[in-house]
Every structure is written in structure tokens, then in C-alpha cells.
Amino acid sequence: MWAMSESIAAVVVRAAELTARGMPRQAIELLQPALAVNPLHGEAWCRLAAAHLDAGEPDPALTAAKRALVLDGDPAWAQRLTALALSELGRHPEAVVAARECVRRKPRDWRCQVVLAEVLADSPGGQREAVEVAREAAHLAPAEARPFQVLGDSALRVRDWGTAERAYRTALRLDPADDDVRANLATVRRKRGGAPVPPPSGEALHAAHVLAWPVLSRLAALLVAGGLVLLLGGMPKPTPLLGWFAGLLVVACLVVGGLPLAKARGGVRRALLRLPLHRPKVAVVTTMFALSAVILAGWAVALLLGATTMQPLVIAWLCALVGGAVVVLAGGR
């Protein structure tokens, strides 16, 4: 029995080599007699199912994968093969169920996430979720090219050209010899060049506005109150120590201003970046606050270098005052 196990293990290795070289039919012919002698070898059934899938034969692949499911071995691999075979047969709901079970068994296995993304991309209504699942797979395996390829394929289906291009570029960096990825990347770049960027939806803009306005209110308080304190502290003549306080105020504004981007996800984050184009009051406030922060930063550096002027601080405070007035008068509408 030990010699037989060793023999079929060698057959499995040889079959894997044949499949990797693009000869799945030879791998099938090698595995079938070995399994007739030792039908309880789960890994061999998985390898047979994989070879059938590569040969474009989902029916026998599903049969072999189901045999592997009830035997000792790697159940997650058998579950992945089952999901892929069901998807090839057009049984998409069953394929999604099998792939989700695989992820449930091994949530940190990037290969399970990849298969779930693949079957979701082929199932009606699952294409958006496929992008997020593929993104998780890429997060779990940042050194593997396959998750990024699947992420690119999934993003391509929903016309998310930016995500698709970034994913394909990463996949090519990890595996420069993949001609399919290279061709898909060229397709994405061609389509992206002629595709206008769609405007954010009304719901995304509203969510972005709700997220951004309280932050603008806090920035108004910081810049107006902080600027007033600096004005009082700088009389009659500012010192380099005041420059450090001005620098800290600018850093605090950057931290507070970055909170919405850190909290936002997906479409809301994109809407945040484009919110000033669609909300004039937001555009005025952000412009005034940005000018105030930039002038404050320059004034802080000048103080540290020995300057003693107060004029930049006055201008920065007036910009903050204008932005703060818009925040107060608009009231978040």
C-alpha cells in the first residue's frame, strides 16, 4: 500500500507538470488508470478535475471534483474546482454557493477569493461584488499575479477602467510573460482613452457632502480661532517660536481635512474629490481654506528663517474668515 501511494503521488506530480505545459489530455490519460487502481486518492481526483477543466470538459471535471470532496485531502481545492466546473456548465447560482463555501472554509486563502470573484463575474448581478472580492484576493496575496489579473478582468466587465489598468499593470510587473494580461491592458488603455469620466451619482454627491461639511466646519474653527491666537501672540513682533505654532496649526488642518477621504469608500470617495465641481459653496470654502493653510505654512517657514512680518498672517486669517463665513451662512445646505 505504501508503494502504491508513492506511485500515485508521482503520477499526480507528473500530471501537474503536463497540465502546466498545456497538455491536459495527456494528464487525464495518465491519471485515469492510476485512479482506477487507487480510487481513494483525493489529490489525484482534484488534479484530474483540473485537467478536465483545462481541456474544456466541465462535466467530467465536476464528477471528479465531487469525488474529491468526500475523500481526505484539501477540501478547499475540491470546492474551488466544483465551483469552476459549475460555472462552466452555466449553473451560476450553484457555482456561487460552492465558491462561498470555499471562502467560508478558508477565508484567508487568496485562491478561494479568486474563484469566488471569477464565478461572481460570470453570474448575473454579481459583477460589482466580483471586483471587491478580487480586490480582497489581491490584498491577501500582493506577490501573486493571478489575483491582480482577476481583479483586472472583473473591473473590465463593469467598465472601471482605472482599476482594471492598475490591476493589469501590477499583474504584468509580477509576471511579465503573460501575453493575455498584456493584451487586456492594451484594450483597457484604448477604451479608457475614449471614455469620458462619468459624473458621480446624486446619491454619492449627497453622501460626500454630508461627510465633508462637518469637516469644513471644524477647519473653519481651527483656522479662524488659530489665526486669531497667532495674531494676538505675534504683537508687537512675531518670534520664531510662533512659526512652530503656525506649523502645528497647518498640520492639524491637514489631519482634519484628510478624515473624509480616509472614511469614504468607492464611489463616495470619488465624489468627494469632485465635490467642489458640483457644489459651488464647497469650492469657495475649500479654496479659501487651502489658500489660508498655504500662506500660513509659508509664513511659518519665513519666521523660522528670521522674518518678522505679520502681513502674510493677516491675509491667511482673512481667507479663513471668508471661508468660515460661507460655512456659517450656508449652514450645510
Which pLDDT score is estimated for 48? 92
- pLDDT of 293 reads 93
CA 298 – CA 35 distance, rounded (Å): 76
Give the burial class of 217: count Cβ atoms within 10 A of its Cβ; 0-12 exposed, 13-18 middle, 19 or more buried: middle
* Long-range contact pairs involving 50-56 (C-beta distance under 8 Å, separation at least 24): 50/19, 50/81, 51/15, 51/18, 51/19, 51/24, 51/25, 51/27, 52/24, 52/28, 52/85, 53/81, 53/84, 53/85, 53/88, 54/19, 54/22, 54/24, 55/24, 55/25, 55/28
The rounded average pLDDT for each run of 10 residues, N- to C-terminus, in the chain (333 residues) is 58 88 90 87 88 90 88 82 90 91 90 92 87 93 94 91 91 88 88 61 76 87 90 85 90 86 70 80 90 92 88 91 87 58
Q: In this predicted structure, what is the pLDDT of residue 1?
A: 36
**What is the pLDDT, as a whole number, of residue 3?**
37
pLDDT digits (tens, 9 = 90+) for 289-309: 999 999 999 989 998 888 888
pLDDT at 199: 62
> In the prediction, which pLDDT does 5 show?
45
Domains, the chain: 2-193 (1.25.40.10), 202-330 (no CATH)
- Positive or negative, the CA dihedral 2, 4, 5, 11 is positive
This prediction has a pTM of: 0.54
pLDDT for 242: 87
Q: Which string of DSSP letters, residue by residue, matches 100-151?
A: HHHHHH-TT-HHHHHHHHHHHHHSTT-HHHHHHHHHHHHHH-TT-HHHHHHH
